[in-house]
Amino acid sequence: MKKVGILGPKGTHSEEAALWLKTFLREDWRLQICADIFDVLTAVKEHKLDAALVPAENSLEGSINITLDTLARSDTLQVVRELVWPVKNFLLTRPFVDVQSVKKIFSHAQPLAQCRNFLHKNFPDAEIVATTSSARAAEFVAASAENFAAIGTQRAGKLNGLTVAAENIQDNPNNFTRFFEIRYRPRDAAPIETFDGDKVLIICQIDGSRAGSLCEVLNEFAKRNVNMTRIESRPARTILGAYIFFFELETDAGDEALRDSIRAVYDKSIWLKNLGVFRIINPL
């Protein structure tokens, strides 16, 4: 049975997405709850898990930095699949609580940010408290005797005996989170030379002290008609002002164009890693 790690506890968006994907793929998964994203990915590197399903980017709040940073620092993690998950947030309370009397609202920082307008309009005087996950927030509210509320998934409410006080409270209906399925890849594995998937993800560090260095890298993709759908920079964690770059590339240009452009970028980089070729699954 395939052991897949997710961010816990039960009731997170990560668990909802993993349960859906398990059913969609018709695979025999056993979900392993982990305390945080770093722990999930570390368990994959240490062969304690077969795979991890972790958030990489939210359409409203941007990248999940711990996911990108952990990928950047690892030589043995590979992205094998992407799931584009529609995020729906619910306001959860204990049964019979007067919603208007709620003075504290708990959730993970991402859902709190995604529901900022809703909270400002309906609970301008409530204290907003960030927790390690939206599911932890639901657990805390269920165990408290106070008139608290949580923002989380409908499943988190059911698991903790909470009532849905308001549904779909995210400020933007086009709220999606991209999840990466990540697996272990041996250091001595053969280089990726064929690109049988929708996208390829590469990461590199270039010499930012030289004018035009990033432009030169981007031109290697452009002149071979390789479409770049996303670029992300992160601190290299070496010296101030040094950055690494993530590039997501569509594979439509073909194997030769992708091989040639990645090799050319490698020659212009301090170092480069191919983090995988993967298919995209979108439930909508």
Q: What is the pLDDT of residues 119-160, one digit of tens each?
A: 999 999 999 999 888 888 999 999 987 889 999 999 999 999
Give yes or no for a contact between 150 and 9, defined as CB atoms under 8 angstroms apart.
no
Do the domain assignments include residue 156? yes
| In the predicted structure, residue 24 carries a pLDDT above the cut 90 | yes
Task: Give the per-residue pLDDT at 209.
Answer: 63
Task: Give the per-residue pLDDT at 210.
Answer: 73
Say whether both 2 and 82 belong to one domain: yes
Say whether both 15 and 135 belong to one domain: no
Say whether both 180 and 49 belong to one domain: yes
- Read off the pTM: 0.85
Least confident residue range of 85-89, 115-119, 206-210: 206-210
- The separation between CA 146 and the C-alpha centre of its own chain, rounded to angstroms, equals 33
Name residues whose C-beta falls within 8 Å of residue 256's C-beta, 6 or more positions apart in sequence: none
Say whether both 214 and 273 belong to one domain: yes
Do the domain assignments include residue 22? yes
Task: Give the per-residue pLDDT at 175.
Answer: 84
| In the predicted structure, residue 206 carries a pLDDT above the cut 80 | yes
Do the domain assignments include residue 282? no
Do the domain assignments include residue 284? no
Say whether both 138 and 163 belong to one domain: yes
Do the domain assignments include residue 283? no
Written as six digits, the tokens of 72 are 């950047």
Task: Give the per-residue pLDDT at 36.
Answer: 85
Cα angle at 149 between 59 and 55, to 5 degrees? 25
Say whether both 122 and 203 belong to one domain: no
Task: Give the per-residue pLDDT at 76.
Answer: 93
Say whether both 147 and 15 belong to one domain: no
Do the domain assignments include residue 192? no
Domain that holds residue 129: 90-167
Task: Give me the number of domains the chain comprises.
Answer: 3
Task: Give the per-residue pLDDT at 208.
Answer: 65
| In the predicted structure, residue 280 carries a pLDDT above the cut 90 | yes
